[in-house]
Amino acid sequence: MPTNTALFEPCLLNSTLTLSNRIVMAPLTRCMAGPGLVPTRQMADYYGRRAEAGLIISEATVIRADGQGYPDTPGIYSQAQIEGWKTVTEQVHQKGGKIFLQLWHVGRLAHSHFSDRQPVAPSAVAFEGSVPRMRDLTYELPRALSAAEIEQLVADYAQAAENAITAGFDGVEIHGANGYLIDQFLHHDTNHRTDDYGQTPENMSRFALQVIDAVAERVGADRTGIRLTPGAYTHMQADARDRAVFDYLLEELNRKELAYLHLGIFDDSLTFDFLDGRASEYLRRHYRGTLIGVGGLTPAAAAEGLVQNRFDLAAIGRPFIANPDYVSRVKQAEPLVEYHQDMLTELV
């Protein structure tokens, strides 16, 4: 029996969601939305071609105008955007697939170029560097959110989640990873607050938990997943004190009965001293629900992770850009086309 058969076992995610296999298409920003950040017919075809995945997670999708940090990333806050996404979800469903929408606010990685507004963040700490794909735009100093603005943001996440369900998505993934807004609250490098949202693990987890509760209340915990980056490997500096924040947050997540927890990392062979090993191992030790592993997984490594019970589902990113028919190829043990960055210029 080929070792990768574990990838093709169905997964009962919860009482309302069954996935036909354990391969998840990881969220992949493509910067190809149309005017008004509306998803296009080409995007619907692109996702439709990948509907064999047990679950597709959409590219990160901005919940409101000041959450945008890259050109032409889709939104989920206008009626036109909801209508555009309907063409995507219809295609995926027609082909027997399932798709969640990734809810995104980039926080301090936003730019006034996109929304005419100063970026907002937990604290007024700028990220050094320039906006990808727009090298002449350097990151701006963000403004620290007030408590009232945080409350509004939580409501905006819930509204965006509802919009996603209206657009036909099977659920939503809260983007709490990769140094964006929610992750900025979870790390000492970017959270210098002295109010109820800073300094202690409980306070630093508060925003993430409020968003999770508001979204789960609106669309159901069974339709809510979250992506987290305990390793702080991008857009911020790791700090050994962050560990206590994630210890606390994960214990709270154990009570929420979410659809899943999804690791965010490009290479899961990386080890972190303050996490006592790999980020996926750390999450597995602390989180008792369904875990999605990711990060440089070959089909064999993904299958091995499932067999060894290191995660329950395997997310595949770059290989899915290079191979729209990734699932069939792996099933039939056909060779995969190797990913190359040049493939990002076209939506194949």
Ligand X SMILES: Cc1cc2nc3c(=O)[nH]c(=O)nc-3n(C[C@H](O)[C@H](O)[C@H](O)COP(=O)(O)O)c2cc1C
Q: Using CB atoms within 10 Å of the CB of residue 122, give its burial: 0 to 12 exposed, 13 to 18 middle, 19+ buried.
A: buried
Candidates 46, 70, 157, 180; catalytic one: 180
How far apart are CB 138 and ligand X at their closest, in Å? Answer: 21
233 a catalytic residue: no
Distance CA 132, CA 215 (A): 29
How far apart are CB 338 and ligand X at their closest, in Å? Answer: 12
Nearer to ligand X, 230 or 317 (CB): 317
Nearer to ligand X, 168 or 296 (CB): 296
Residues of this chain that interact with ligand X (CB under 6 A) are 26-29, 59-60, 102, 175, 177-178, 227, 264, 266, 294-297, 316-319, 344
Please report how the helices 79-94 and 147-166 are oriented relative to each other, as an axis angle in degrees rounded to 10. Answer: 40
How far apart are CB 31 and ligand X at their closest, in Å? Answer: 9
How far apart are CB 62 and ligand X at their closest, in Å? Answer: 11
Region of 48 on the Ramachandran plot (φ > 0 left; ψ -120 to 50 alpha; else beta): alpha
Nearer to ligand X, 28 or 211 (CB): 28
Nearer to ligand X, 219 or 321 (CB): 321
Strand, helix or coil for residue 23: strand
Q: Using CB atoms within 10 Å of the CB of residue 247, give its burial: 0 to 12 exposed, 13 to 18 middle, 19+ buried.
A: middle
Q: Catalytic residue positions?
A: 180
